[in-house]
């Protein structure tokens, strides 16, 4: 079998592959895309970092390709969809760069407090200017951390060692996790207004893009210091430039940018109070050694038909078990996505209960699929079936799994409950039906419903009074939003009812507000399943 190592990984990783008698290793560092297209014609696996792009065209040119390994966390340079359609396993190396990125963040923090980089440049020019490079101390200052996952948590520990007070903004951070880290969870506005130093450690999603914008800078203390070693675009660069020029921000440190590589004429390059590094988060000997060996081991195991490790497009199970579990994996992810949207942002526990066939099977991949679905709206492209348990744990969320032998109304059933700190439960249950195993939601917050967890669902509670269905039809029809299906559930005549509408398109904010103003309608939610 042939393995193409397209980007340079640690020598230990390459040597590990070369020691396997059945593996032929081809090293092709720095190859053009055209050269890669030539080389993949007879390879069984490809290893990349961030330089080489494994596009749909590359995948189509590689008929023997079985696995693609990324020595790193992200897989944005790999067409995962095209690979999945071809049955090609895509793997990454989660967790290998946690300490490296946390330490780089703290390096930037220290350089923001003490202008070491600027002083070093001045010394090289033959100067001796002590007054110009006076700094400030971290001791007894307040650090605001946006995003307290694996890396954010490591940064918090290092900040405490320097005697800093740590505030944390993370909508999905459980109180128990905050307590264990000895940090104070706050809302974003409070963090922004009280922190002397701010660092961001969130994935870039619709919700977090431009998290720190012009309005946020206006609320900050004069002389605040701000840092980003996570993802470009979390801090609005134009707003940051203005704040650096005005003195609102005394210093900044950036390892990631909205566009990479950073443009040569970027204003950030010209500002004396900002330290820039070229995306070095994972660039330590230890991190590269770890991910190089890790990806080599994963590729070898995949080619040998063993247990799949660190797969981003499939659970780590053997093929026979996977075939049996497939319908439930899809259902579980849908249930996770739905319960995340109908429950509060901060929960303590996810409780998964299985009935039927899953009681006798290894349901671990299905549980991972639940977590994956729950995290999709939180962690965006960074989440997969492999790192979902790690990300859930970093949020302080306990996952409890129960296999029930108690009789159920359904032959196969998965119930998912999200429980907050006060013990309030939000639930959704689902099953699969028919020969095609189509997923169905059959319960929502204790009410019997029947809905397909696909596309856009409009969920609302209302008084059981005449005219509700007609009103909804009129309002949605006026904006040309078609109702594909409807499920109604009431506890008694004239009592509380739960209505679930499957829609062909998404209604606008004004339409939802109009629906919510109806005297008999309450708690309107739009869920994307």
Which residues are part of the catalytic machinery? 231, 260, 279
Alpha helices in 228-284 (DSSP H): 237-246
Are 322 and 385 a contacting pair, CB within 8 Å? no
Nearest to 389 by CA among 368, 366, 362: 368
- Phi and psi at residue 462, to the nearest 5°: -155, 160
Are 429 and 414 a contacting pair, CB within 8 Å? yes
DSSP structure string for 495-510:
SEEEEEEEESSPPPHH
- Phi and psi at residue 441, to the nearest 5°: -85, 125
369/436 Cα distance (integer angstroms): 19
Per-residue CA distances from 15 to 12, 70, 149, 292, 296 (Å) = 5, 17, 33, 10, 9
Query: 198 - beta bridge partners?
Result: 144, 226
- Specify the long-range contacts of residues 481-485, CB closer than 8 Å, at least 24 apart: 481/505, 481/506, 481/507, 481/511, 484/455, 485/451, 485/452
Per-residue CA distances from 86 to 59, 81, 224, 258, 321 (Å) = 8, 9, 50, 32, 20
Are 112 and 225 a contacting pair, CB within 8 Å? yes
CB-based contacts of 166, cutoff 8 Å, min separation 6: 142, 143, 144, 145, 156, 159, 160, 181, 182, 183, 184
Are 410 and 442 a contacting pair, CB within 8 Å? yes
Nearest to 458 by CA among 372, 414, 516: 516
CA angle 17, 18, 23 (to 5 degrees): 75
């Amino acid at each position: 079998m042939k393995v193409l190592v397209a980007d340079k990984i640690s020598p230990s990783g390459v040597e590990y592959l070369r020691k396997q008698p059945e593996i032929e290793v081809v090293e092709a560092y720095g190859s053009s895309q055209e050269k890669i297209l030539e080389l993949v014609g007879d390879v069984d696996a490809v290893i990349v970092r961030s330089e080489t792009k494994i596009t749909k065209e590359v995948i189509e040119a590689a008929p023997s390709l079985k696995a693609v390994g990324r020595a790193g966390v992200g897989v944005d340079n790999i067409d995962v969809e095209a690979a999945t359609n071809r049955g090609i396993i895509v793997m990454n190396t989660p967790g290998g760069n946690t300490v490296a990125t946390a330490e780089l963040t703290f390096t930037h923090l220290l350089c923001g407090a003490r202008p070491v980089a600027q002083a070093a440049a001045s010394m090289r020019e033959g100067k001796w200017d002590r007054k110009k490079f006076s700094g400030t101390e971290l001791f007894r200052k307040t650090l605001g951390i946006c995003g307290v996952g694996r890396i954010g948590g490591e940064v918090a520990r290092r900040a405490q060692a320097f005697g800093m007070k740590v505030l944390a903004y993370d909508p999905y951070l459980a109180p128990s996790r905050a307590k264990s880290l000895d940090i104070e969870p706050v809302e974003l506005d409070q963090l922004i207004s009280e922190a002397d130093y701010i660092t961001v450690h969130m994935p870039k999603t619709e919700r977090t893009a431009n998290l720190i914008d012009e309005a946020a800078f206006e609320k900050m203390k004069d002389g605040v210091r701000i840092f980003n070693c996570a993802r470009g675009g979390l801090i609005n660069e134009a707003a940051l430039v203005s704040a650096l020029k005005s003195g609102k921000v005394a210093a900044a440190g950036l390892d990631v940018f909205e566009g990479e590589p950073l443009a040569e004429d970027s204003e950030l390059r010209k500002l004396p109070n900002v330290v820039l590094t070229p995306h070095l988060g994972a660039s330590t000997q230890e991190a590269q050694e770890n991910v190089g060996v890790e990806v080599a081991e994963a590729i070898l195991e995949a080619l040998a038909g063993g247990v799949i490790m660190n797969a981003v497009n499939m659970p780590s199970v053997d093929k026979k078990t996977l075939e049996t579990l497939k319908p439930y994996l899809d259902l579980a992810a849908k249930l996770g996505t739905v319960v995340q949207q109908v429950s509060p942002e901060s929960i303590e526990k996810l409780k998964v209960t299985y009935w039927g066939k899953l009681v006798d099977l290894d349901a671990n991949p299905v549980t991972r699929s639940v977590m994956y679905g729950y995290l999709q709206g939180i962690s965006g492209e960074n989440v997969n079936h492999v790192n979902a348990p790690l990300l859930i744990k970093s949020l302080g969320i306990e996952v409890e799994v129960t296999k029930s032998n108690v009789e159920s109304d359904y032959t196969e059933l998965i119930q998912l409950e999200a429980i907050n700190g006060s013990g309030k439960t939000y639930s959704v249950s689902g099953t699969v039906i028919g020969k095609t195993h189509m997923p169905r939601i059959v319960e929502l917050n204790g009410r019997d419903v029947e809905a397909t967890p696909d596309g856009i669902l409009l969920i609302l509670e209302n008084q059981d009074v005449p005219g509700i269905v007609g009103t909804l039809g009129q309002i949605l029809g006026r904006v040309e939003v078609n109702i594909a299906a409807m499920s109604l559930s009431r506890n008694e005549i004239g009592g509380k009812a739960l209505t679930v509408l499957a829609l062909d398109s998404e209604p606008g904010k004004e339409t939802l507000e109009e629906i919510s103003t109806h005297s008999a309608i309450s708690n309107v939610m739009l869920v994307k399943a």
